Structure 1
């Protein structure tokens, strides 16, 4: 039996791939524990893994909408947090794991692990093409680079860069980069395609993380679908109070309902382009309308990739209600979108990204022991 220590952060869709890989490791008899922000405790413990909260982390408020400059400042502080780095190193010294698996956004922890000479893996939970492309050029990464903690700088010492993305969708995966970058496939907990109902049913979800203008975009979507011949389920997450929204009769609004319960009975998904939600929808074979909520994150790239694959359409977050309604009905009325999403879904389910990721981590530990 081997021991694995995962270091993560409370940033929404970054956690599910790590949890799924951790669950696969535990099914194989390994010991798994997570370090993270206190708010992540319940989600981690629900998988059976142990949880150790950070004690020295800077404050993080992902569900509170912030002005753009404060949002950038908070992300930079968290990503380069020396306190998280110290906590991870301290925990690794207190109870040494066979392998340390660190979220790719925790530059401070990645840098601390490299400085201490620890064996570690960087877990990339979206397209590597984004992480090694536009993300490296945004203000957060530029400022991190000035601290010696840029994305490429902290990955140089990693034993493995584990990319939890479909290599056929990830623009970087198509070139199958060599070196320490390896694609496991998208980590999704989906075993069968959705069974769309006779009367179209659409899931709307714009992330559990707060983005500027999110309530206004949600309300515009609700107004747009009011006269459409469809049923709609909306999940707002902790970032938006459902009481702020006015829903028409064909819409049910929930602060939280597991997407694993809703997607199997949907016809399509309207999302923000977050990697976790998008891959889960596609794994169900569901076509998508993607409305990216943050220009500096992976959402625009993911939306573009889904549209180019023929599995959905992309609209800007300032799109009118009429544009939203037209795009949604185009997706529902055009068979090619569901067909393309269905083909992608078959590939994602067959790839078994979480299991493949676990096997790659196991193999790394075995080679180190040998």
Structure 2
């Protein structure tokens, strides 16, 4: 079967789809991957045929921020609801319009029999419908209380009408296509779950499989010693001041601290480090998580689900987008704590992290969620069910 997988060119939107794409290829399907050019090197390294579709997410957010009249440097102090509204326009209008236009001439050429479009890549899903190609929507995490997808839906209805589609037919999560949901049911938003009534396409559980590009795993991670605390602020919202505060707090603990600076922060510029802290630009997160006693992070979907799948408690320091909802969900299931902006002082990070390391309750709750995740159908099983 010819399969086109499509996602926004961002780590948090692309990485969750790669296990399904890899499983589809392993099952013998001919898989192409549509995304913006910045992610083509990754796609090619993994052996997929790249298809140029969509704009760069940073440029799209820059456009919307500029048109809002706000200073982009104020994004960390902007109320989350306003950020979510702007994100809705980015995903439902700016990126969706570009992707739909890019794929319009490509789909008749590729002739895919199914398009697997990521939940944030609405343009790919609309293009598939215009071309009469079967669609599957692949989630990238918890649906953030329905906020971002609902806000995006406010914009995408107009685009759907322009493309000759019935806006009512593409309303709701997944544009009316079956939704491959990598979020365990107990963590997923109840309103999102309630949307899957008998008269609409189903929600299909799919086990989240952490993906990370190969990188050296520091040898000391696997050596005996004090507990390992892993700190990352992700790839999109990482901010140097928050990272330095977290490092200073975690450096007070009787623990080893591994920091992934990511693409937005220069690891060499982090500053003086406590002896117990090591900073790397990039680490293979999927390999690190099973060794961690605690994960301190921003609340991105990939890290949240990856830590839960490994049964590791979390301290979440949300900065924007869906991170606040993910942090709330972690607290609700008892798998960790959160510190909101303004609360995350050096002392607070040290105190809460120490409490999480000492309290067996969050680890037990995280282990329970890990068992739920392990029981979800694997990518290979879902590929066999939906593509074969």
Interval containing the TM-score (normalised by the shorter chain): 0.7 to 0.9
1:125 CA displacement: 1.2
Structure 1 residue 245 corresponds to structure 2 residue 270: yes
List aligned pairs for 1:205-216, cutoff 5 A: 205-211=232-238, 214-216=239-241
The equivalent of 1:298 in structure 2 is 322
Q: Hey, what does 1:134 align to over in structure 2? A: 147
Alignment of 1:208-357 (within 5 A): 208-211=235-238, 214-246=239-271, 247-294=273-320, 297-318=321-342, 319-357=344-382
**Distance in 2 of aligned mates of 1:33 and 1:176:** 31
Q: Conserved in 2, the CA contact under 8 Å of 1:205 and 1:234?
A: yes
Report deviation, 1:307: 1.1
Report what 2:196 is aligned to: 177
- Answering whether residue 387 of structure 2 is matched by residue 362 of structure 1, we say yes
Q: CA RMSD in A?
A: 3.1
Query: Once structures 1 and 2 are overlaid, which stretch shifts more, 250-259 or 176-185?
Result: 176-185
Q: Distance in 2 between matches of 1:267 and 1:274?
A: 19
3-state secondary structure, aligned to 1:14: helix
For residue 61 of structure 1, the aligned residue among 55, 58, 73 is: 58
Q: 1:356, CA displacement in angstroms?
A: 4.0
- Over 3 Å counting, the alpha-carbon distance change for 1:215 and 1:92 in structure 2 is same
Aligned counterparts of 1:63 and 1:286: Cα–Cα separation in 2:
34
When normalised by structure 2's length, the TM-score is 0.80
Give the CA deviation at 1:226.
Answer: 2.2
**Post-superposition CA distance 1:302-349 (Å, at most 9, x none):** 111111111111111332111111111111000111111122212212
Displacement of 1:355: 2.9
Q: Does 1:120 align with 2:141?
A: no
Unaligned 5+ segments in structure 1 are 364-370
Instruction: Give the CA deviation at 1:245.
Output: 1.2
Q: 2:89 aligns with which of 61, 70, 76?
A: 76
Q: Could you tell me how far 1:270 is from its partner in structure 2? A: 0.6
> What is the aligned length?
350
Q: Secondary structure at the match of 2:296?
A: strand
C-alpha displacement of 1:198:
4.8
Cα distance, 1:311–1:157 mapped onto 2, change above 3 Å? closer
Q: CA deviation at 1:11?
A: 2.1
- Does residue 1:167 correspond to 2:185, yes or no? yes
**Consecutive unaligned residues in structure 2, runs of 5 or more:** 63-71, 162-166, 212-220
Counterpart Cα distance in 1 of 2:57 and 2:174: 27
TM-score, normalising length: structure 1: 0.84
User: What residue number does 1:367 align with?
Assistant: none
Please give the alpha-carbon distance, in whole angstroms, between the structure 2 residues aligned to 1:31 and 1:119: 16
3-state SS, counterpart of residue 104 of structure 2? helix
**Cα distance per residue 1:109-156 (max 9 Å; x no partner):** 3233323333212222122463xx222555x65455555589963757
CA contact (8 A) 1:5 1:35 kept: yes
Aligned to 2:214: none
CA deviation vs aligned residue, 1:23-70 (integer Å, no higher than 9, x gap): 11112111111011122123323333222223xx44443799944499
**Which 10-residue stretch deviates more, 146-155 or 337-346?**
146-155
